[in-house]
Amino acid sequence: MRVEILGCSGGIGGTSRRTTSLLLDDDILIDAGTGVTDLPLPALKTVDHVFITHSHLDHITCLPFIVDSVGEMRNTPLTMHATKETLEVIHRHIFNDDIWPDFTVIPSPENPYLCFNTLEVGRSVVIKHRSITALPANHTVPAVGYQIDNLDTGATMVFSGDTTTCPPLWDIINNIPDLRYLLVENTYPNSQREMAIHTKHFYSSLLLAEMKRLRVNPEILITNAKPVWFNQIEKELVQGAGARKLRMLLAETILDL
Ligand SMILES: [Zn+2]
């Protein structure tokens, strides 16, 4: 499985800073942040599934544009997968005929451009050789992370989405035998501790403390750093990681799973 990081920044500001979106092979997106804007139209058209972690704008920015841009080119609806709470918020606040057309009934209710699939934490969706499972997260709005398994090779990656400390997540991670990559957010440096607590994100020393729960040894890839704090976060985490394999994740990185 090929995993292309289209965006993994906590903000925008130049070509290296795009908000969260991961492309699995050529047909599955995890989140639909501004990283999606670089995909050419033929690549957008082949995306059949979008798994959303939560309803915050930096993770869904491009979803309305994808649906509108490729709807007429496709024969089947784009399927958006998310929990019931997240689906309801996005339907009510985005695809509401005020902000954007309700493409779940356009051009017709029988054959719309967009359809919804409700996820539950712990339940897997299998698409060809890939299994995608919603994982618990702890954020200011209902949120999940995702476990992504290559069923052919047995390799696994976990993406935390936006979260702060979340003990059930680490319990699950510790029971994954072949965890190759752990993509975990760290939005703020230690100097922004109050902001991190208020917005339910990780800051460096909190993530380093949480990592002590880890009993497996994946490569740890840091996502969602606010652009202005990127270098400070990198310094704090690399210093604190000790023997663990840890680096800041960048857009355009390709991971092999
Ligand atoms: Zn968020």
Tell me the per-residue pLDDT of 64-123, one tens digit each, with 9 for 90 and over: 999 999 999 999 999 999 999 999 999 999 999 999 999 999 999 999 999 999 999 999
Distance from residue 224's CA to the centre of ligand 1 (Å): 9
Distance from residue 74's CA to the centre of ligand 1 (Å): 30
pTM across the whole model: 0.98
Distance from residue 15's CA to the centre of ligand 1 (Å): 21
Average pLDDT value over all residues in the chain: 97
Confidence of residue 188 (pLDDT cuts 50, 70, 90): very high
Distance from residue 131's CA to the centre of ligand 1 (Å): 24
- Over residues 224-245, mean pLDDT: 97
- Over residues 19-41, mean pLDDT: 97
CB atoms within 10 A of CB 212: 8
> What is the pLDDT, as a whole number, of residue 16?
87
Distance from residue 139's CA to the centre of ligand 1 (Å): 7
Distance from residue 111's CA to the centre of ligand 1 (Å): 31
Using the predicted structure, report yes or no on whether residue 177 has a pLDDT greater than 90.
no
